[in-house]
Amino acid sequence: MNSKDALVKAIQGSHSVFLVTTPAWDVAGSDAEFVRGKNVTEVSKETGVQHLISSSLLDVTKKSGGRLKHVHHFAWKIQPRIQHAS
């Protein structure tokens, strides 16, 4: 999901895409999961995908009343990935 060219080949002609990202466990502080999700989102839009379904999580910091503050691999999943065209 790092290569937009590869994503175009994989996604083109699809009606729907189900997006599941995983953290970049090998790189501390990496935004790779966010970038990969953004790439899939952008390519889906560019290739005319009708439905993009993104697997995400709740904001665990908020839901735990602030007890769980450092769950970064969950936090990436609540970042907005889709910007609606005006």
* pLDDT at res. 83: 44
Strand partners, 37: none
> Does pLDDT of 85 surpass 50?
no
Residue with the two structure tokens 């995983």? 22
CATH H-level superfamily of 4-78: NAD(P)-binding Rossmann-like Domain (3.40.50.720)
* pLDDT at res. 16: 97
Confidence of residue 76 (pLDDT cuts 50, 70, 90): low
| pLDDT 10s digits, 5-57 | 999 999 999 999 999 988 777 766 678 888 888 899 999 999 999 999 988 77
> Does pLDDT of 84 surpass 70?
no
Q: Are 50 and 17 in contact (CB under 8 A)?
A: no
* pLDDT at res. 82: 43
3-state secondary structure the chain: CCCHHHHHHHHCCCCEEEECCCCCCCCCCCCHHHHHHHHHHHHHHHCCCCEEEECCCCCHHHHCCCCCCCCHHHHHHHCCCCCCCC
Model's pTM, two decimal places?
0.74
Q: Which of 24, 19, 25 is nearest to 37 (CA)?
A: 19
